[in-house]
Amino acid sequence: MVKPLLTTALAAALAGFARAQAPPAPSARPADEKPAQPAGASFGAPQRITDTGIALVARLPSGNPFGAAVDSPPALPVKPVIPKILMTDEMFLSIRVDAKGKPSAFKKVRDPLPSLAADVQKSISRWVFDPPKKSGQPVDTWTSVKLDLSMEVDPLKIEQISLMPVTKETPVPTPFEWQPTAAWLDAQKAAAPADGTVPVEQLDLPPPPKKNPWSADSYKRPITVKLWVHVTNAGKVDRIVPIQITDPFLIGYLKRGLSTWTLRPARAGNANVESWDELTFSGTIDCSIELKQIVSLRRTLQ
């Protein structure tokens, strides 16, 4: 399985280089050296004053730390294809539900399919909820829900593709940030609604949807993707860094799809070597999407 590499990996490489370049820490005072006594002091023993928090001077790397000198870069398969893939993903929404169980607004808190925003909005406008209640009385609230999605992605039709080696002169890009769901959810801080509605944490129960028609069931469109990929000395892609991507669900899709490729690895001397490379391609993706389950959360997501 391909392992994702996020911004922290890029930062760690730069930080490691900086630590290696830092000057040594100042030496400690010899044990037999006595501190100077202030003249005319008649109160208690003098206190030693020491410097704390000294800022060290380091140098940034002179080149891209991911770049490597190779005699020949890796090469793509003759006919690179990504087969049909079945996958799942999760969408988190915050929906304003009135005392009669009707939705009046919604926020996309975590959306792996932003290209389908209009279809998602159309779906939610037709949903009907059980009336939210506090102490048995109907109230207005913002309810948070998790949508479990099942996706069937047809074989990707690649139209143009290129693979360029990352060199010492290649600028380090800013990666596209998309945390794993569990890490993202743990970092969320509950905030009380500012519009006078009752927080979902104070309700008797989160209001479940009684009717939930789903219109965002198809994703078919051209895509252009740019990634940094790590190619092992066996010619397998085992890590990716998304740089330019339209919909975050494509990250999980490409992690699985690219792991099926076998490339000709880079060469240095008479040996195969690992390398970082920039993969850019365009094509058309066709995906059917099924809403499998709606989970009402007992917490406010903003």
The structure tokens 């893939």 sit at 85
Six-digit token string for 47: 């206190």
E strands, the chain, where?
3-4, 85-97, 103-110, 128-129, 133-134, 137-138, 141-153, 157-165, 209-211, 218-231, 237-244, 266-268, 271-273, 275-297
pLDDT per residue as tens, the chain (302 positions):
555 544 555 555 555 544 544 445 444 444 455 545 545 444 556 666 555 566 777 666 668 888 988 999 999 999 898 999 999 999 999 999 999 999 999 999 999 999 999 999 999 999 999 999 999 999 999 999 999 999 999 999 899 999 999 999 999 999 999 999 999 999 988 778 888 899 999 999 999 999 999 999 999 999 999 999 999 999 999 999 999 999 999 999 999 999 999 999 999 999 999 999 999 999 999 999 999 999 999 988 87
For residue 253, the surrounding DSSP H or E stretch is helix 249-258
Tokens of 19: 């630590």
pLDDT value of residue 47:
64
What is the pLDDT at residue 2? 55
How distant, in Å, are the alpha carbons of 17, 64, 67, 99, 278 from that of 171? 16, 7, 10, 54, 11
Amino acid occupying residue 56 = L
The number of helices, as runs of H, and strands, as runs of E, in the chain is 4, 14
In this structure, which amino acid lies at residue 189?
Answer: K
pTM of the model: 0.78
